Every structure is written in structure tokens, then in C-alpha cells.
Structure 1
Amino acid sequence: MLRIALLTPLTPERTALADVIEGYLPELARRFELTVVTSGAYKPTAAIFRPEAGLRIRVLPYTQYRTLADQFDLALYNLGDEPRLHGYMLDAMQERAGVLLLHDLVLHHSIFVLTWGAGNQAAYRDELVYSYGAETAEAIIAGVLAGDFERLASRYPLVERVLDRSLAAAVFNAGLAEAVASLAPGLPIETLPLPFYLPGELPDEARVQALRRQIGSPETVIFGTFGLFNSQKRLELTLEAYQRLRREINCAYVLVGSALDPDLTARLNERNLLDDVVRTGWLEPAAFSEYMYAVDAAVQLRYPHVGGIPYTPIRLLGLGVPTIISDIAPQADLPSDAVIRIVPEASDEGEALYRAMYRLAVDPMQRASMSAASRVYIARQHDPRHGAARLADFVEYIAAQKEQLAERAQLRQRERTAGRKSGNDVVAMAGQALAAMGVRADDTEVLHHVLKPIAAMARLAQPRGEG
């Protein structure tokens, strides 16, 4: 049985990545001698770690793992773009190549915080130079100093070194798989389904009705939005649509989760919605999930995105909640009879959202049809046992060829840095080779035929954005 170290955030950390991996853990624990490695800042609280769960999963803090890392056959890194949660994994990858479970293509935010944010601008520049070359690195730094960080982070994901160091990568949608393949040719990639997984006990009908009474009357159509409320959730559009809708229909709106937007309260107040939108604040995972049973429909917009597939819609659809989503590539596989798509940044985005909410509010038959379709789809495509089994098979496949893949990882890193040579570097190396062959500086006829194609190759070697 393989000895696997899985570096990952777990509940009680406030991240969907913990929910995803906890959905996989029971099957992984049956297939492997499994050790979960945390940052060490907390103790896991999910039910699967209780003795009565009957799962053999060892938990180690990262400081202890570092002294024991050689005991494991393979390391898995459940990685996203949150420096507080994933910084120790980026550190561990420098010592030990492993298999990525990659949720976001963009890691620029984490690397920026862990380097520049820690007072080490040189380390940030080194990462940029490795991925994009010296000239582009200087341009990015100038843009950051000019206040253009978010746009630059989206354009330059800064995931290249992480991919180059890895033995393989598992991702959760085809679009992210294609992006990874283009950045790291030859890297083994597996595309997995996100697991439909809910923590805790299912709420009974009395609990669901009690939650509904807290939000509205028994006849009220309840809309909900779940998760961390940042600019990507496009709440301004949803609030505007809800404000219009409530003038015509008996409806309510609940925000279940934490607000990262400091202006949310002010914006609710400006729309006279401060007392009409229910806000739960952050909830423990089981309580968070209970509210999914209490809503009639959900609005889960997300744009821009960073490559990963949003997890909350998978859970809502598994419970049969009709859901309105943004029309983005990571969600392209969700069936059209189970969701309503809104094109982000279209001229009629707000109007399209209002019409979608209106249809769901007034048409219980459409809600029922979408509910049935979504349950069937999730049961077929997102069973956590099937996804975990595919991940376990992939891990075994990679472990069997770990040495060869480690050599390929080293080769990718050498090729990446070799590709960053400037035109002058290429010409200098060619000059040294010609001198060794006895070609003199006054051999103009020979040099004419040699230097022209060398110059062309030097131009081709320029990295993206530097030509």
C-alpha cells in the first residue's frame, strides 16, 4: 500500500478546497496509507476525523512532516491561490516534487504576498524572470507599482514554476486542463469531477421550515447566494435585479457566507435593502449547507474567474436547487436544462439576470424541471466515490514512474530557463562555439552564413510579451 502525504487545508478553514478534499478522503484512506499534512494552525473538525468514522487517516503539522517527508512514496498538494492556506505547500514543493490537485490557474496573488508582501521584492522578481524573462519581469513590476496588479495577475498567472516542478497535475475542468497542458507540455494531467459532498447530518423538514420562516413567509419565493462575497460574485447586479423583483413578487433574498467586500453594507443601505436582505455571516460547514435546503433558487454569478470551477453550484445542483450561473468556460459542462446561464459583461447582463430570476419566481414548474435535471446530472457525474477512485488510480500510475517523471520535471525547468536567453546570450554562446571550431573574427563569409539564422533563432527564443 502506497504511503501518501496529502498537503491540504481542512475544515475549519474557510475554503471550498477543504470540502472538496474531505469528499474524497474516505476512498483515498481505503486505497492508501494516508497522512494529511496541515499548516499546523488548527485541528481538523470534520466528522471523518472522529474515531467513530472508522477511517485511518494520520494528521501531521507541516513542521513535523518536514522531518518525516522521506518516509512517503508520494506527496499530493491540494493547491489554490490563498497564501495563508497554501503558502506552506509552495515551500514544500521546493523540496519535494509531487502531484498537484490544482484548483486555480492563477497563483500570482499568493506568490506576490509571500515574496513582495513579505518584503522580498527580489524573490518576486526571480519568480517573474523564471516564468516570463527579465524584460517582462521589469514591465510587470513597473505595472504593479503603478497600481495595475489585478490585470497583470490575470494575464501572468505565475504558475509556471509550480507546474515545471511537479510530477503531474489533476484538475477539475477541461479548460483548466488545456491551459496547464499549454504551459507545461508533457506534464501528465487528469481531469476529475468535483465531488458532491455535504458535511454533517441532513436537516429534517422542521429545521428547513424554521430557516425559511427566518427569511420570509411560507409563500415567499426565496433566492440565495452562497460563499465568500467579493467582486467576482457580481452582487451589485443581483441586488439590482432583486430590488426590481420584490416590487412585483413576494420574494426574499439571503446571503449565506462572509462578505469580503467592505462596502456591501453601504450598498445595501443605498438601495434601501439593509433590512430586506438576510445576511448570515460566516457559518460552520454544516450550518452553511442547511441553508441550501431552505432556498427555492440560487444566484451564483462569478466573473472574472481564474480557471477553477466554482464548487458551490455543484452542491446546490446536487440538492436540486435551480441555479443561475455565469456563462464561463469552467462551467461549460453543466447541462442547459439544469442551470440558467448569464453572459458576463454583456450589455444586457443585468436585464437577463432579472428575467431569469423572474421566471424562476413565477414558474414552479420550471423550478421543478430544473431540479430534477440537476439531481440526475450530479448523481451521474459527481459521485465522490468515482472521483476519488479516479484520483487514486492516477496517483498509483504516477507513483509507478516517479523517477522518470522527476527527471522530466528537471528537464522542464532547464528548458524554461534556457528559453529565457536573450538574443545577445544566444549570439555569445554561438561565438564561443565558432571560436572553438577555429573560425576567426575576420572570416566574414563564414560568419555571414552562420549569424543570420542564429539571429532568427534568438528572436524566436523571446518569451511571451518581450518581443
Structure 2
Amino acid sequence: MKIGYCSPFNPIKSGISDFSEELVPVLTTEAEVVVFSPTVLENKIIEECCEVHPLKDLDNYELRKSLDIIVYHVGNSFSCHGEIVDYMQKYSGILELHDVGLHHFVAEKISKKQDWSSYVELVEYSHGMKGRKIAEEFLAGKISAPWDTYSSEMTMTRPFIECARGIIVHSEFAKQMVLGICDKNPITSIMLHTERITEDAEKFKRSCREKLGLSKNELIIGSFGFATHQKRIIQILDALKKIKKDGNSSFRYLIVGEAQEELKIKKKIQERNLDDNVIVTGFTELEEFKAYMGACDFCLNLRYPTQGESSASLHRMLGMGKPIIVTDIGTFSDYPDEIVKKVSYGEQEVEEIYQAIRELSRDKRQLKQRTQAALKYAEENCDIEKNAKTYVKFFEEVCNGTWLPDEEDVLISHLCELGLTDDDYTTELWEQIHISV
């Protein structure tokens, strides 16, 4: 099988760039891969293992027709994925949807052209008259941006899904959201891979701390990736202020990655008397990024609001055996409680973050159990070589017309058509069917 693979790659700063640079070499062991990139690649390993073209070469008819299928990686950033989406709309293929919510993408694209009438029409197409009213109220200055306030309800994903031959998502939550928008296309959920699963988590942690010159004995925790307000950095700082007030000042909090408002974050750190406890690294290269992650006793991966995204950083953490505190929302609610510790995003958010940090920092036995559970989960669900095989199997099924939907998805689709969408009723009925079979 010959696969056209369209994705951002480094030097484009994106978690999807890192994701693709890890996956492509492994995918080439299962199929022939031809990479189409919107930028010149920094990673020479990709060029050594497969054929590489600029994205515009998809316009070459002979080259395009030599491919069995094309996969387009799309996330919620127009600057990273705008050209890729343009080609997906010209030459249909598999849509690999890294964020179910693409409202930011659409708004960024529209804002560059200042064509807000088209935005309103697109909102109506995607979300009906109710969506149109919200868009018009926003443009009239009556409400805040819908992509923040209505991130889950107004995904704007319908046009992207409808032009795809098939869809790949990375969680059951995302899969059900897509099926609710359009249930006609082949779809599969492939959990984000873990590049490497650590054999000895404690030894790896010590080596990372030594490499970075960090204390062997301090409690070290961290948040990773682009530090936007959705990552709840300020709320974490508020919780850490309470930790320090308890008399525990022997800790480090690492904010690793480019910060959306770095000066604001640094001011908040100072206001909370946390200057000696917090390190803001700014953007780091991938190996340093992983070293900081490896140095942590446990990590935080908070998100609110959610765009239906999964987190590549979270899966790196699992592969390193890191206990993780997450927001109980969207895809993150899918993970078992023994793998992640969940906190709410409501009025009690800061208190719950505080209690979770306090509990994990004091309970060494729980920390060890969660480390072992994370490694086991990564081995069973996130192995990159198993993922590569799953990708190729799905591509072959779409090409051959042999793909079949899951029985449960068919059942849920029928129930939705009948208006029987109560979660408890659906679960009970599905269990009864399994028992009868």
C-alpha cells in the first residue's frame, strides 16, 4: 500500500509535527509512505526512510494517482493546517482529526480575509439557526467569542468531515462527537501513541534530573505544551500558593513550552510569592521537553474549555510512568481513574487541584501504584508499532470498501434517529443485547 501523508513537520511548532515525526518512520515498516509537507523538513530521518515532497506537489496528477490513499492531519490552528485543509478539499482522503472543535481554525481563516458574512453562513450550515444567532450576537458585540463560550457545542467541523473519505480520531469521546455530526463516513479511533515506554521509571527520573541540574530530593511537578489559558496555569499557581502557605516550600513547578502570555504568567508567579518555586522554560526542543517531563514526580494536564482534543503530552507522560492530574472533561474523562486523577473545572477547581497535589505529594504508595498503572496502560493501549498496523488496516478497509462500523455505533445511531438518546437507557439496552448474544 502507498500512503500520501500530509502533516505539519518541524520547524512548524506543533505537537502534531512531533507526532508525525515519530509515527512516519514506524509507519514505513508497514507500508510505503510519501510525505507531503507545507515546509522544508528539519528531520533528516524522515527523508531517509521515505519520499518527501512539498505540499504543492499534490497537484501533480501522476504522483497523486500513484497513491492508494492520502491522509490529512488537521488540528485547530489555521496557520499550521490551512494549506493542508485546502488540499484535502481538492483531493479527498482520510481526515485525521486531532481536534474535534475547529472553530478557532475557521475564525482565524475568516479574520485574515475579514469576510465575516461568510463566517455567519458557515456557522448556520454547521449549527443551524441557533448557531447563526450566536454568531450574529458575537459580531454585534453582545457576547464573547463562540469558539471559547461554545467550544463543544459549536465545533464547526461539519464541512471538514463531509469532504473526507474516512476519519481517524484519537478517543471514543471524539468518535461519538463526529458520529453525531455525520455518521456516513468510515471512522476509527486510534489512541495517540507513546513513542517509548520506560522500563525503570524511577531510574529515568533520576537521570533526567541529573541532566537538567534539578534537585534529587525536591518534589517536581509540571505542565507541558503551549501554555494557553485553557491549560489552567493560573489556577495551578493559586493551588500552589496554598501548598506553600501550608509550610511546604520544597517543590518546583515547571511550565514547559511556549507561553501565550508569558509576562502575565510571570507577574502572577511573583504576586503569589512563587518566584523560587516556578520555572518557565519557554519553547524547548523535543529532547529537552521530554527530559523535563521525565524529571517530574507527577504531571498536570488540565484543559478547559475543551475542543474535543486528545493530548500527545499526556501519552508521553504515560509512557514515562507519570501519575497525571487532568480536568474531568471531554476525552480526559475517558481515562480510568487509576491512570489519571481527575479534578473539576467549576467553582471548586483550585481547591480540587490543591487537594490532588497535596495527596499525591504525600502518598508515596499511591504515587508508586499510579506509576505502575500508567506504564501498564501505555503498554496495552499506546504502543506505536501496534498503532502503525492499525492505521494501515483502516486505510486498506477504506480503499477496499470492506470497512464496517462497530455494532455499538450502529445501535447508538439508530437510537439517535428514534430520539432515544438518554445515556442510562442506551447503556442498559446495550448491556442487555450483549447478554442475549
Q: Per the shorter chain, which TM-score range?
A: 0.7 to 0.9
Deviation of 1:275 (Å): 4.0
Deviation of 1:374 (Å): 0.7
Correspondence 1:194 to 2:192: yes
Q: Distance in 1 between matches of 2:228 and 2:187?
A: 30
Q: Which residue pairs with 1:64 in the alignment?
A: 57
Which of residues 152, 155, 173 is equivalent to 2:153?
Answer: 155
Q: Is the 8 A contact 1:229 1:257 kept in 2?
A: yes
Secondary structure at the aligned position of 1:305 is classed as: coil
Correspondence 1:81 to 2:81: no
Secondary structure at the aligned position of 1:155 is classed as: coil
Of the structure 1 ranges 314-323 and 331-340, higher mean CA displacement relative to structure 2 is found in: 331-340
Q: Which residue pairs with 1:220 in the alignment?
A: 218
Correspondence 1:37 to 2:36: yes
Of the structure 1 ranges 313-322 and 260-269, higher mean CA displacement relative to structure 2 is found in: 260-269
Q: Which residue pairs with 1:351 in the alignment?
A: 351
Q: Distance in 2 between matches of 1:400 and 1:44?
A: 35
Q: Which residue pairs with 1:241 in the alignment?
A: 239
Deviation of 1:63 (Å): 2.0
Matches within 5 A, 1:41-190: 42-45=40-43, 48-49=45-46, 51=48, 55=49, 57-67=50-60, 68-133=63-128, 136-137=131-132, 139-146=134-141, 148-149=144-145, 150-152=148-150, 154-190=152-188
Deviation of 1:88 (Å): 0.7
Q: Distance in 2 between matches of 1:362 and 1:138?
A: 50
Q: Distance in 1 between matches of 2:112 and 2:152?
A: 18
Secondary structure at the aligned position of 1:295 is classed as: coil
Q: Distance in 2 between matches of 1:183 and 1:171?
A: 14
Deviation of 1:244 (Å): 2.1
Q: Distance in 1 between matches of 2:331 and 2:231?
A: 15
Identity of aligned residues (%): 25
Q: Distance in 2 between matches of 1:400 and 1:177?
A: 22
Of the structure 1 ranges 221-230 and 247-256, higher mean CA displacement relative to structure 2 is found in: 247-256
Gap change, CA 1:58 and 1:50, over 3 Å in 2? closer
Q: Is the 8 A contact 2:206 2:216 kept in 1?
A: no
Q: Which residue pairs with 1:386 in the alignment?
A: 386
Deviation of 1:393 (Å): 0.4
Deviation of 1:236 (Å): 1.6
Deviations 1:256-302 (A, max 9, x none): 11111252122112112234311111101111001122111112211
Q: Which residue pairs with 1:327 in the alignment?
A: 328
Structure 2, unpaired ranges of 5+? 403-437
Gap change, CA 1:157 and 1:329, over 3 Å in 2? closer
Structure 1, unpaired ranges of 5+? 403-467
The one-letter amino acid paired with 1:277 is: V
Q: Distance in 1 between matches of 2:154 and 2:339?
A: 34
Deviations 1:229-266 (A, max 9, x none): 11111112211121222342222211111111252122
Correspondence 1:27 to 2:31: no
Q: Which residue pairs with 2:281 in the alignment?
A: 280
Matches within 5 A, 1:255-404: 255-262=255-262, 263-345=264-346, 347-401=347-401
Deviation of 1:169 (Å): 0.4
Gap change, CA 1:132 and 1:332, over 3 Å in 2? closer
Deviation of 1:134 (Å): 6.8
Q: Name the TM-score, length of structure 2 as normaliser.
A: 0.83
Of the structure 1 ranges 228-237 and 17-26, higher mean CA displacement relative to structure 2 is found in: 17-26
Q: Which residue pairs with 1:8 in the alignment?
A: 7
Q: Which residue pairs with 1:465 in the alignment?
A: none
Q: Distance in 2 between matches of 1:394 and 1:36?
A: 19
Q: Is the 8 A contact 2:95 2:167 kept in 1?
A: yes
Q: Is the 8 A contact 1:109 1:153 kept in 2?
A: no
Matches within 5 A, 1:435-450: none
Gap change, CA 1:39 and 1:95, over 3 Å in 2? same
Deviations 1:55-114 (A, max 9, x none): 2x1121112232343432221111111001100122112211111111111112112222
Q: Is the 8 A contact 1:116 1:123 kept in 2?
A: no
The one-letter amino acid paired with 1:101 is: E
The one-letter amino acid paired with 1:359 is: E
Secondary structure at the aligned position of 2:184 is classed as: coil
Deviations 1:1-23 (A, max 9, x none): x3221111123322222233333
Greater C-alpha radius of gyration:
1
Q: Distance in 1 between matches of 2:47 and 2:204?
A: 23
Deviation of 1:204 (Å): 7.0
Q: Is the 8 A contact 2:152 2:308 kept in 1?
A: no
Q: Which residue pairs with 2:432 in the alignment?
A: none
Q: Is the 8 A contact 2:222 2:253 kept in 1?
A: yes
The one-letter amino acid paired with 1:395 is: F
Gap change, CA 1:135 and 1:309, over 3 Å in 2? closer
Q: Is the 8 A contact 1:223 1:296 kept in 2?
A: yes
Gap change, CA 1:123 and 1:348, over 3 Å in 2? closer
Q: Is the 8 A contact 1:211 1:294 kept in 2?
A: no
Secondary structure at the aligned position of 1:280 is classed as: strand
The alignment of Structure 1 onto Structure 2 pairs a total of residues equal to: 390
Q: Distance in 1 between matches of 2:260 and 2:328?
A: 23
Q: Which residue pairs with 2:419 in the alignment?
A: none
Gap change, CA 1:294 and 1:133, over 3 Å in 2? closer
Gap change, CA 1:209 and 1:133, over 3 Å in 2? closer
Q: Is the 8 A contact 2:171 2:190 kept in 1?
A: yes
Q: Name the TM-score, length of structure 1 as normaliser.
A: 0.78
The one-letter amino acid paired with 1:278 is: I
Deviations 1:191-212 (A, max 9, x none): 111100159xx99777523356
Q: Distance in 2 between matches of 1:135 and 1:212?
A: 52
